Amino acid sequence: MRISYSSLENFENCPLKYKYSEIDKIKEPKTKEAIFGNYIHRVLKWFYQQDPHFPTLEGLLEYYYNHWPASAKATAGEPKKEEEFVWQDEHEEKDFFQEGMRILEEYYKKNFPPKSMIMDLETRFEAVIDETPDEPGGKHILTGVIDRIDKLPNGTMEIIDYKTGKRMPSQNDVDSNLQLSIYALGLKRKWPKIKLEDLRLSLYFLKFGEKIETTKTDQDLEDTQKKIIGLIHKIQTSSFEPKTSPLCNWCGYRPICPVWRHFYENGSDKEFNGINIEEKIDEYFKLKSDKEQLDDRLKELKNTIEIYSRQKGLKRVFGTNGSFNQEVSHKISFDKNKLKELLEPLGKWEEILAIDPKKLQKVLKEIPPDAREEIEKAKKIEKAYEYLEANEKSKKDWEEDLH
Ligand code: SF4
């Protein structure tokens, strides 16, 4: 199988997104964050391509201004590229534009003049991954593009990947980052003489002006290969179910994805078999809210009745349409050893030891990660049930979250 790092990442994040992109070959409409990120990458690539005649800060910002994927700067009648229509309005465009200026200015001040030698930009690689003989499947080719490779004054090589996201991960996250491990594999394949101890792997978080570095060992790369093979096997047997997460907010497939499609349908598309589902859903939540109010009132009444009966020392109180009895309930426990002694010979002991999934979830949080992983491997899905889950978030709130 030939697969890129970004496809593997897509599959891990959402199998359905992988299917749309890699199997159905549906082009994903780019979000403005993606267009902004790509543009910053492009500007930095141009900057380093000028080596050794690097532009001044003004020159860098001038290039940034002149090539900005903007609708505001396009003159009347001039054909616009698809990506020029990304901004919702002038304010949004201005915010993104200024953020880009800030990022580049800070980047320049912090990194110029370069302390390292630029070896390559947007380096394409292919790494062959061999499955072990006892696992079927043969060879896989993993592909990817590394933003930048530098050679530091002490001879160490550094892989740098730029990130424009709003979140900066922890050092631990970067140490276990799959992308960097795959890049190390790719680089070893491209330049086999490179020693891992002479290789630094960095993620540069442009919004924060921070670079987080890590290194890899031979064992890490072996583990990475196993993980990749595991993911490839999952892809080969996947039913490509949607996996919702905050990443949906930036997914361009929302208008066709079964989780989100209905959100984008207009009036007549929503009616089916004469049912206006929006009305039914609104009625459901209205009744649910009425029921909650009724439940609160019932609780209040029961409480008053209970206080009244206790204060008057009554075991039963009467209304016109019914009555209330004071009853006693007992919390019961058993002597576990005695119970085992009695039930085991009858072959019934195992039956009452059924695993309680809720208790297991709690225990999983308390035990070491390797034991947790082993327990996860022992998990079997006996049967899948589909059920409807109600969510009281309003359409307006969803709209505010989506990009
Ligand atoms: S919108 Fe979410 S669930 Fe649907 S394909 Fe995209 S990431 Fe997957």
Residue 293 pLDDT class (50, 70, 90 cuts)? very high
Cβ atoms within 10 Å of 113's Cβ, excluding its own? 6
Residue 48 pLDDT class (50, 70, 90 cuts)? very high
pLDDT averaged over every residue in the chain:
89
Q: Output the CA 16–ligand 1 centroid distance in Å.
A: 7
Q: Which residue has the tokens 């595991």?
A: 230
What is the C-alpha to C-alpha distance for residues 67 and 64, in angstroms, rounded to an integer? 6
Beta-strand relationship, 210-214 and 199-205: antiparallel
How remote is the C-alpha of 277 from its chain's centroid?
Answer: 30
The token duo for 276 is 């206006």
Q: Which residue has the tokens 């003989």?
A: 133
Residue 274 scores a pLDDT above 70: yes
Phi and psi torsions of 187, nearest 5°? -70, -40
Cβ atoms within 10 Å of 300's Cβ, excluding its own? 10
- The pTM (predicted TM-score) of the whole model is 0.77
Cβ atoms within 10 Å of 163's Cβ, excluding its own? 22
Residue type, 251: C
DSSP 209-237: TEEEEE---HHHHHHHHHHHHHHHHHHHH
Angle at alpha carbon of residue 121, lines to 117 and 123, rounded to 5°: 120
| CA end-to-end distance (rounded Å), the chain | 33
399/318: higher pLDDT: 318
Q: Which atom of ligand 1 is nearest to the CA of 248?
A: 2
Q: Output the CA 254–ligand 1 centroid distance in Å.
A: 6
Residue 45 pLDDT: 96
Q: Sign of dihedral through CA atoms 7, 12, 17, 20?
A: positive
Residue 85 scores a pLDDT above 70: no
What is the C-alpha to C-alpha distance for residues 158 and 111, in angstroms, rounded to an integer? 14
Which residue among 10, 17, 241 has the greatest number of ligand 1 atoms within 8 angstroms of its CB, and so is best to mutate?
A: 17
Element (H, E) at 159: strand 157-163
Residue 314 pLDDT: 96
Helical packing angle, 178-190 and 5-13, nearest 10°: 160
Cβ atoms within 10 Å of 115's Cβ, excluding its own? 9
Supply the residue whose CA is at minimum distance from atom 5 of ligand 1: 17
Q: Sign of dihedral through CA atoms 156, 159, 165, 168?
A: negative
Q: Output the CA 242–ligand 1 centroid distance in Å.
A: 6
Share of the chain above pLDDT 90, in %: 63
Q: Which residues, 6 or more positions from 138, have their beta carbon under 8 angstroms from its beta carbon? A: 130, 131
Q: Which residues, 6 or more positions from 21, have their beta carbon under 8 angstroms from its beta carbon? A: 7, 10, 28
What is the C-alpha to C-alpha distance for residues 387 and 96, in angstroms, rounded to an integer? 41
Share of the chain above pLDDT 70, in %: 94
Does residue 265 sit in helix, strand or coil? coil
| Secondary structure letter of residue 314 according to DSSP | -
What is the C-alpha to C-alpha distance for residues 16 and 22, in angstroms, rounded to an integer? 10
- Summarised one tens digit per residue, pLDDT across range 90-114 is 898 899 999 999 999 999 999 999 9
Gyration radius of the chain's alpha carbons: 30
Residue type, 311: Q
Supply the residue whose CA is at minimum distance from atom 7 of ligand 1: 248
What is the C-alpha to C-alpha distance for residues 121 and 127, in angstroms, rounded to an integer? 18
Q: Which atom of ligand 1 is nearest to the CA of 243?
A: 3
**Bridge-partner residues for 2, per DSSP?**
141
Q: Which atom of ligand 1 is nearest to the CA of 14?
A: 8
Check if the beta carbon of residue 239 is closer than 8 Å to that of residue 202: no
Pocket of ligand 1 (CB under 6 A): 14, 16-17, 242-244, 247-248, 251, 253-254, 257, 259-260
Residue 136 pLDDT class (50, 70, 90 cuts)? low
Residue 82 pLDDT class (50, 70, 90 cuts)? very low
Over range 114-137, report the average pLDDT: 82
Residue 75 scores a pLDDT above 70: no
